[in-house]
Each structure stands twice: as structure tokens, then as C-alpha cells.
């Protein structure tokens, strides 16, 4: 018996089966990675540019303060507040501060809104020092200079300008919002374009699938549409496979018909000889048994070989009408047993199989159930996922304990054993031809139950 399919690894179950889904997923990952990397790069570049603009602005303010430098009455270098070019340095509520430090780190001049801060690091003469201050969240620009007074006494000074970073952060936040909004809009737009491109690019595959479905339904015999160069070898191969399979089935059936016709006459002649009363009774009996056995074996093997099995692109068979014909015939055959049949089959249900094979398979199961049951037979056919499930149950004595072993031993043992095994052997061969599974068990009606699982 064939084992039921196992459960695959987790990654196999999670892997998308649709080609369109795979392409969309891959495109989404690539687009997302591209936009995220591009967004961070642009954000970083804008931040560097904004900081450079902040540095240039503070340098300009320092230069304006240098232009306002002059000696005080005590000889110290100072800045006259009235001559400060930037009006913000004259306002107590301004976010811009400035101060002039001597070489001892003492502020000899400060703007009106300057707050006491730790003594800054004094840059060398002629050097600039731009830095960010955590407290009070501001940018600072310092410049070192040397002042030589009239007494030719050089002194070092440092000009420092501090501006609150809130405007810089607000500018950066506004840019970040605008950047990621447009990135999201562009990403969704490109993804939509990708969907349209995939729809257009995969349209030949959808057309091919539609043609294959029409072939399965018997609406056309082969693939006829024109396809791109990449798919043309596939369509030509499919047409060749379909035609070869049909020709092969025809050859098989013709050969089997010829074989049956060739054997019919010799067997009839031998059968006639057994009816010769001049022949000794014991010989006539022995010869008659052998001829009958030959006829049974030949008939069985011909039916077995004629089973079409799973056929590529076969037209699905409407099951309920086929089962109703079988039931109508069996009701007459087993009228003496008052046989009753229950059919649990959706009228729209179709199975992908040959109608002759289904007639043989279901017919044997119903015949066995009616023959060895006690008058009640129930047939159920339905789908469980991608598996077709056929169940026949009766209210008879059920199967013997060695029923499973009997099937596994092969057809010859089934043919020689009287009882249900004869019909089940033919059913088992058909099930194997369809790569299915046959299970024997007990039914809830009190008798035997045969379950057949077929792919599709």
C-alpha cells in the first residue's frame, strides 16, 4: 500500500507557491532595501549639509564680531555692544550668544543674553573650533586670535559664538518627514508599476493555463495560441506529450482488443471439447476447470491492462451520474437481498480520472459490498483538500483479520481466495495505477469499509 504524504519542513510550507507572489515579494524586498538605504544616505547628507551651513553662518557672525573689536580704556581688547552688527546679540530673549575670552579664560566681553558656561577649549591662533554642546543643546564656533597693543604686548583672545540647535533640529525633522513621506509614496508607486509590469509579463502564462484548463474540460484538443519565444518550446512539448499519450492509449486498447479476439476462438473450441460426452468424465471435469480458470485469468488481466490510470490533462468525470447507473444495475442484480444504496455525493463533484476506470473501481466496491453485506450499502465521494476520497461501507460481517496481508501478497492470492478479495484485487490495481492509497477497515454500519484516496 502507498504511504500517505508526509509533512514537509517548515520553510517548504511557508514558501510561496505562486510565481507572481515570488516576483512581487522579491521586488518588494529589493525596493524596500533600496529606499531605506537611499533614505538614510540622503538624511545623513542633509544633516552634514545643514551642519556645514550652521558652521558657515557662525563663522560669518565671528567675522562680524572681529570687525567690531577695539581696545578699551584699560588696554584690553573688547567689543562695543552698540557696534555689534547682529541685532540678536543685543536682545535678552535671543537664541544667539557671544563672548570674548582672554588667555586666562575670563570673559572680557559678553552679549546681554550670555549665560555662564564652562571655560571653552581655546583654539590656537588663527584656528577655528566648531562643536556641538550637549548642554545647552547648541552649536559653538570659536576662533583664536592675537592682539598686539601699542606697548607691543601681544595677548591671546578667543571669540566664541553660540547658537541654540532647536532651529537646526526643526529643519532636520521637517526634512526627515518630507523625505520619508516621499520615499513611501515613490516606493508604493514603483511597487504598483511593478505589479502592472508583472501582470503584463505573466499574461502569456495565464493564457497558457486557461488553454490547459480548456483541454482538461474537453473544449479543445491541443494548445493553439501563439506564445513568446521563451514559452514556445514548452507549448510544443506539451502538445507532443498530449498527442503521444492519446496515441499510446489508443494503441494499448487496440492491442488488447486484438488479443481478446484472438483468445476468444481457441478458448471457445476448447470449451466445446469439454462438452464431448465421449470424453472420460474426470478428464472433462479437469479440462473444464482449467478452461474456466484461463477465461477468468485472461479477463482479469485484460481489465487490469486496460486500466487507463492517471492521464495527463484528463477531462474531469462527473461522478454522481456514473454511480447512479451502477446502483440502478446492482439493485436489479441483488433484488433478492432487497439491497439499499445511500449516495452521499455532490451532483457537481468531478474527479480527474477515466470514466471507465471509475466505473470499474466503484462498481467492484459496490458489488462486493452488496454481495457480502446485509442489504445496506453507503457510498460517499468528496474532496479533502487536493485528495479525492471514495468510501464504501456496508452492514455485513466485515473483513477477515488478514485482509491487509492478503492485498499485500498480490493479485494471485486475491484471485484464488473466494470472497471480497477478488473484487478488491482489481480495485487495488486501479488505485496503484492512479498513485493512490487503499485502506480497509470497519464501518459505523457494523460491517466493512473500503477507503480509496486518489490525487486530485
As a whole number, mean pLDDT of residues 374-395 equals 90
Residue-wise pLDDT for 379-388, tens only, equals 999 998 888 8
Q: Over the chain, what is the mean pLDDT?
A: 80
- What's the confidence (pLDDT) of residue 114? 81
Checking if the pLDDT of 85 tops 90, the result is no
Checking if the pLDDT of 11 tops 60, the result is no
As a whole number, mean pLDDT of residues 311-318 equals 68
Residue-wise pLDDT for 125-139, tens only, equals 889 999 888 877 889
As a whole number, mean pLDDT of residues 343-358 equals 86
How does residue 414 score in pLDDT terms, banded at 50, 70 and 90?
very low
- What's the confidence (pLDDT) of residue 67? 84
How does residue 12 score in pLDDT terms, banded at 50, 70 and 90?
very low
Checking if the pLDDT of 210 tops 70, the result is yes
How does residue 2 score in pLDDT terms, banded at 50, 70 and 90?
very low
- What's the confidence (pLDDT) of residue 410? 43
In 3D space, the residue among 303, 362, 354 whose CA is nearest the CA of residue 327 turns out to be: 362
- What pTM was computed for the model? 0.50
How does residue 3 score in pLDDT terms, banded at 50, 70 and 90?
very low
Amino acid at each position: 500500500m502507498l504511504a500517505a504524504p508526509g509533512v514537509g519542513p517548515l520553510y517548504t510550507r511557508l514558501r510561496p507557491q505562486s510565481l507572481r507572489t515570488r516576483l512581487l515579494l522579491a521586488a518588494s524586498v529589493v525596493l524596500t532595501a533600496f529606499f531605506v538605504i537611499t533614505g538614510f544616505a540622503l538624511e545623513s547628507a542633509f544633516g552634514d549639509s545643514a551642519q556645514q551651513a550652521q558652521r558657515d553662518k557662525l563663522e560669518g557672525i565671528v567675522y562680524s564680531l572681529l570687525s567690531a573689536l577695539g581696545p578699551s580704556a584699560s588696554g584690553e581688547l573688547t567689543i562695543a555692544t552698540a557696534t555689534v552688527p547682529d541685532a540678536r546679540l543685543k536682545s535678552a530673549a535671543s537664541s544667539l550668544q557671544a563672548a570674548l575670552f582672554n588667555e586666562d579664560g575670563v570673559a572680557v566681553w559678553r552679549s546681554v543674553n550670555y549665560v555662564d558656561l564652562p571655560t571653552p577649549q581655546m583654539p590656537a591662533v588663527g584656528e577655528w573650533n566648531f562643536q556641538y554642546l550637549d548642554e545647552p543643546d547648541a552649536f559653538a564656533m570659536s576662533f583664536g586670535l592675537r592682539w598686539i597693543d601699542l606697548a607691543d604686548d601681544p595677548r591671546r583672545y578667543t571669540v566664541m559664538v553660540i547658537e541654540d540647535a532647536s532651529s537646526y533640529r526643526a529643519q532636520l525633522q521637517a526634512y526627515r518627514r518630507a523625505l520619508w513621506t516621499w520615499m513611501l509614496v515613490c516606493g508604493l508607486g514603483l511597487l504598483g508599476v511593478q505589479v502592472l509590469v508583472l501582470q503584463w509579463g505573466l499574461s502569456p502564462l495565464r493564457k497558457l493555463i486557461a488553454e490547459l484548463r480548456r483541454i482538461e474540460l474537453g473544449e479543445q484538443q491541443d494548445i493553439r495560441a501563439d506564445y513568446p519565444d521563451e514559452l514556445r518550446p514548452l507549448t510544443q512539448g506539451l502538445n507532443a506529450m498530449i498527442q503521444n499519450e492519446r496515441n499510446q492509449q489508443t494503441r494499448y486498447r487496440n492491442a488488447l482488443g486484438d488479443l481478446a479476439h484472438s483468445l476468444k476462438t481457441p478458448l471457445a473450441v476448447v470449451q466445446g471439447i469439454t462438452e464431448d460426452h465421449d470424453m472420460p468424465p474426470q478428464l472433462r471435469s479437469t479440462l473444464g476447470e482449467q478452461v474456466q480458470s484461463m477465461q477468468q485469468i485472461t479477463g482479469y488481466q485484460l481489465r487490469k491492462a486496460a486500466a487507463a490510470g492517471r492521464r495527463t490533462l484528463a477531462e474531469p468525470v462527473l461522478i454522481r451520474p456514473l454511480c447512479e447507473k451502477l446502483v440502478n444495475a446492482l439493485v436489479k442484480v441483488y433484488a433478492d437481498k432487497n439491497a439499499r444504496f445511500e449516495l452521499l455525493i455532490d451532483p457537481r463533484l468531478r474527479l480527474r480520472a477515466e470514466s471507465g476506470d471509475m466505473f470499474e473501481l466503484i462498481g467492484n466496491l459496490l458489488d462486493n459490498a452488496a454481495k457480502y453485506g446485509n442489504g445496506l450499502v453507503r457510498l460517499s465521494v468528496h474532496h479533502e483538500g487536493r485528495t479525492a476520497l471514495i468510501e464504501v461501507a456496508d452492514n455485513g460481517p466485515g473483513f477477515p483479520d488478514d485482509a491487509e496481508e492478503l492485498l499485500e501478497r498480490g493479485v494471485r492470492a486475491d484471485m484464488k481466495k473466494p470472497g471480497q478479495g477478488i473484487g478488491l484485487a482489481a480495485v487495488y490495481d486501479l488505485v496503484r495505477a492512479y498513485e493512490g492509497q487503499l485502506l480497509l477497515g470497519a464501518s459505523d454500519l457494523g460491517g466493512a469499509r473500503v477507503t480509496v484516496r486518489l490525487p486530485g
